[in-house]
Structures are given as C-alpha cells and as structure tokens.
Structure 1
Amino acid sequence: MWLSSFTNFLAVLLGGTAVVFGLVVLFPKDMVVGINTTHEASLMTALVLMAVTRNLIPWWQGIPNSTMHTYIGSVIGLSMAHGL
C-alpha cells in the first residue's frame, strides 16, 4: 500500500495536474468558484454519494471497476443535473 501511495505522489510531482484540471473543466462554472447556495451544496453531496455508491456496489459483488471512470460519470451527471 505504501508503494501505491508513493507512486501516486510521484505521478503528481512529475506528471503534473492535467487530469485534475481536466475534471474541473467538467464542473459547472458557478461551482468552480465556490459553493454558495443550498442547491449547489446538494449537487456536490449527490456527487460524492453517487461516486461512493458506484464504487461500493461493484466491489461488494466482486466486479472490477475504475474509480476514475466513476468520478467522471458522477461529474457528468452533476453537470447534467445542474443544467436542469
């Protein structure tokens, strides 16, 4: 486990933060600046709960899944819900 943590740390130091900034672009522009309303807070809570749920259910059933794809799907769902 320490090796995984160490290599993730090195990846950020050496590879940059392109993935994170790529995800931030998917967020609604109002939420990038800050969460100011209860509507935005509920959307962010839904994002976190959906990402955790989409990770736990396949893990519980023994199905391999990608956490990054889960987060991307949750952010896209958040953007769609914000648009409505």
Structure 2
Amino acid sequence: MRYCVRHRLILRKDARPPTEVMVIFVDQHKEQYGVKPICKQIQIAPASYYEHKARERDPDRLPDRIKRDKELESDIQRVWKNN
C-alpha cells in the first residue's frame, strides 16, 4: 500500500489514484503539455477530466448520491461531535 500525504489517501499497490488526484495533476501540468497528452499517459479519458471540471463549476451536474451526501454532511459532523 502507498500513502499520499498531500491528499491523505491510502492506495493499494496496484490501485489507480482517485480521479480527483489525477485532475489536480493534469491542472498542474496542462500549460506545459496539454490536457489530451497527459490524459493519454496517465490513462484517464479526457472526457472524464472535462466532466470533473464542469462539475466543479456547476454543482447541479453532480450525481444525486453526492448531492445527498453533502446535505447529510453537517448532520453527520454534529452527531459525531456529540458522541
């Protein structure tokens, strides 16, 4: 297993990083190399990158599950702190 200090993630040895981590990597290097060549090398579809960026700009595009999780987040934190 590997531990990503920056994103506080534990990854299996053969696991791919989460999409969020790959999108951050693309953002950091897209000026120098471009989105499509980076996506090809890290094996992520450019459409996945662009969809992730669109969801950052417009939260209405998020899946229903994620929207519901965000609604419940404050309740979960409250219960956790009171326990």
User: TM-score normalised by the shorter chain: which range applies?
Assistant: under 0.3
Larger fraction in strand:
2
TM-score, normalised by the number of residues in structure 1? 0.25
Larger fraction in helix:
1
TM-score, normalised by the number of residues in structure 2? 0.26
Q: Which structure's relative contact order is higher, taking Cα pairs within 8 Å and 6+ residues apart?
A: 1
